[in-house]
Amino acid sequence: MQLADDADNSRAGRVRRRRRSREISRYAGRPTRLLWRYVGRRKLAHVVVLASVLIAVGCALASQYGIKNLIDALPAGRAHPETVIRAFMILVILILADNLFWRIGGWTAARAFVGVTGDVRNEMFAYLSAHAPAFFADKQPGVLSSRVSAMANAVYTVENTVAWTALPPCLTMAGAIAMVAVVSVPMSLALVTVSVGLALWLFRLANKGTARHQAFAARAASVDGELVDVIGNMGLVRAFSSVPLECQRLDAHLHTESAARTQSLLYLEKLRLLHSATTALFSAGLLGWTLWLWNQGRATTGEVVLVSSLGFAILHGTRDLAVALVDLTQHIARLGEATQTLLVPHEMPERSDTQPLRIERPTVDFDNVSFAYSGRRPVLSEFNLHIRAGERVGLIGPSGSGKSTIFALIQHFYEPQTGSVRISGQDISRVTLHSLQSAISIVPQDASLFHRSLLENIRYGVPDATEADVRRACEDANCADFLAAMPGGLNTVAGDRGAKLSGGQRQRIAIARAALKDSPILLLDEATSALDTVSELAIQSALERLMQNRTVIAIAHRLSTLQTFDRIVVINRGRVVQDGSPTELAAVPGIYRDTLAGQRRRFAAPEVS
């Protein structure tokens, strides 16, 4: 009953993830809708921020009216001091309330806006990690990581800009225009007309600059990608004395980015200049109109001061609103550009009706599989292969014959165009990805390690493994000797991609990781090809222990490593051309016997000389 409940829960989780994935992909190129998605998750906090800003701006505007009352009360203040005191107390209360509500909004926003940023990063990483390997093959890691950060930063900046730069001047202008109506309704109507016209004009001009802002965002992401690419391959750069060349290449990218950024900023300055000239003329006209009313006896001295201060408030408000609109346009354009890069639909979404992989006997079958990478010729053509449970099978063949593609298809990195791949009789396209990955361990040619402790790297596939379990796996992988020499033992940090370890040490860590995972199917991808003889012997003995009681498929160029295997499968041009035991294939003409003879001559040559 518990297993059934777990399966139902897992199926419900997959349906939710699939639905969420489809939902998120719809936001590509729709940054405003994406913003509302995250704002909606923290509605209460955003309502508090909005209400705080609204009340604070209202108090600030009321303070202007309070000043007007205080000025009008002064002429008769000596005879009636209570009038002045009342006006003074009201003004003080309004000023205190103004500051209090700004602080309430600021405290709430500090948590809410940062929380939204975390939501964006988490969801974007989850969506990004669900892409098929082909997506990552076409993109630089630095570009993708910079897009995730750019999205989060853009959302945070937009929220801050709206809350503290765009919304207050909007409210100030609306309130100021309403208060001007107390002095003169025609003046208030004129302010409405001018303000709305100015805002629409600025918004239209700001929209025209979107292409410039998007171009800058794309160039900035490209520079980030180049930096990560070069820094990640710094050893290669130095080995080929290419530091000056890479500096020149980066300088060219920076020059392009700087030009795009300059175009974006100059357009912003053009908008600000036009706005400044317009609002200066507008304010002068407003003040002149108020003085004319005062001269006609239709406005008090306090009302002249009120309209003057409100006029400057409107002046500064339209200026701040113009700056905010331009900045918002720039950041929303950057957000839109990032969504178009990251939120492309998943090429291989997990089906909602998948079932967990149940392995009774770990067999592997390829049934009439044909596969080609996008835009390239077929790699496998009607490929058939049956591997029995517990069998050790070596794959050999010329480069490009399809060996690595077979491994990729077994792990469901790609979907074959025709045919099916089955494990324990189940089509892997109809099983959950998690259960498939749990059933397979791999020791790659170039062991990939995180910049984390060796302990974390080894138990990466089994996070809850005890340290005792890890140490047993290390003993099986012949790691104990060099781990004892490490300054921190298992707590030693491996460095970027395992840079602090030798090739042989990295391979043994990968073997320990696979041994700890204890999966029924083991893939070995040239696990000893780039090692010296001593390291190879240590790793061969570790691999021998690892292969016990597992179905093993190995890619190898050194045929000596496959002599204890049950079968050798020779692949050429996407088809099986030979299949048999090492002894059987060595006795018949073909690729295997020719390769074996060539390797024996090569290794024997030094001894002859």
- List the strands of the sheet with 440-443, edge to edge: 440-443, 521-525, 551-555, 392-396, 567-572, 575-580
pLDDT of residue 7: 45
- 365, pLDDT greater than 90: yes
Strands 521-525 and 440-443: parallel
Q: Cα separation of 144 and 142, whole Å?
A: 5
How much is the pLDDT for 250?
74
The number of C-alpha atoms within 13 Å of 81 and in the hemisphere containing its C-beta is 1
Per the model's pLDDT, the better-predicted residue between 266 and 386 turns out to be 386
Query: Could you tell me the pTM of the whole model?
Result: 0.68
The answer to whether residue 366 scores a pLDDT higher than 90 is: yes
pLDDT score for 551: 92
CA dist., res. 387 & res. 385, Å (int): 7
pLDDT band at 241 (very low <50, low <70, confident <90, very high): low
List pLDDT tens digits, range 7-17.
Answer: 444 556 556 66
Q: What three-state secondary structure class fits 516?
A: helix
Question: CA dihedral defined by 280, 283, 285, 288, rounded to 10 degrees?
Answer: -130
How far apart are alpha carbons 473 and 451 in whole angstroms?
A: 20
What's phi and psi for 385, nearest 5 deg? -160, 135
**Whether pLDDT at 531 is above 60:** no
Q: What is the CA radius of gyration of the chain?
A: 35
Q: Is the pLDDT of residue 566 over 50?
A: yes
Whether 428 and 422 have beta carbons less than 8 Å apart is answered as yes
Predicted confidence at residue 108, as pLDDT, reads 92
- Options 3.30.450.20, 1.10.443.10, 3.30.2010.10, 3.40.50.300; which CATH number does 447-518 get? 3.40.50.300
Mean pLDDT of 380-397: 91
Average pLDDT value for residue range 592-597 = 83
What integer best gives the mean pLDDT of the chain? Answer: 79
CA dist 478 and 466 (Å) reads 19
59-112 confidence digits (pLDDT tens):
887 777 777 677 767 776 666 677 777 777 877 888 888 889 988 988 999 889
- Structural contact between residues 519 and 435, judged by C-beta atoms closer than 8 angstroms: no
Compute CA distances 588 → 224, 534, 579, 599, whole Å. Answer: 55, 32, 11, 17
Q: Which band of pLDDT confidence, cut at 50, 70 and 90, is reported for residue 532?
A: low
**Among residues of the chain, what percentage have pLDDT more than 90?**
11
* pLDDT of the residue at 1: 35
Whether the domain at 19-342 and the domain at 447-518 fall into the same CATH topology: no
What's the rounded Cα separation, in Å, for the pair 37 and 442?
A: 39
pLDDT tens-digit series, residues 295-329: 777 666 666 666 767 766 776 677 677 667 767 77
pLDDT at 606 over 70: no
Could you tell me the CA-to-CA distances from 429 to 22, 347, 401, 425, 436 in Å, in that order? 19, 13, 24, 12, 10
Homologous superfamily of the 354-439+519-609 domain (CATH): P-loop containing nucleotide triphosphate hydrolases (3.40.50.300)
Query: Is the pLDDT reported for residue 179 higher than 60?
Result: yes
What percentage of residues in the chain have a pLDDT greater than 70?
80
Give the pLDDT of residue 360. 85
DSSP-H helix ranges across 388-494? 403-410, 433-438, 454-458, 467-476, 480-485
Domain extent listing, the chain: 19-342, 354-439+519-609, 447-518
From the candidate CATH numbers 1.20.1560.10, 3.30.9.10, 3.40.50.2300, 3.30.830.10, the one assigned to the domain spanning 19-342 = 1.20.1560.10
Of the ranges 16-30, 109-123, 136-150, 587-601, the best mean pLDDT one: 109-123
| Residue 303 confidence (pLDDT) | 66
* 452 SS3 class: coil
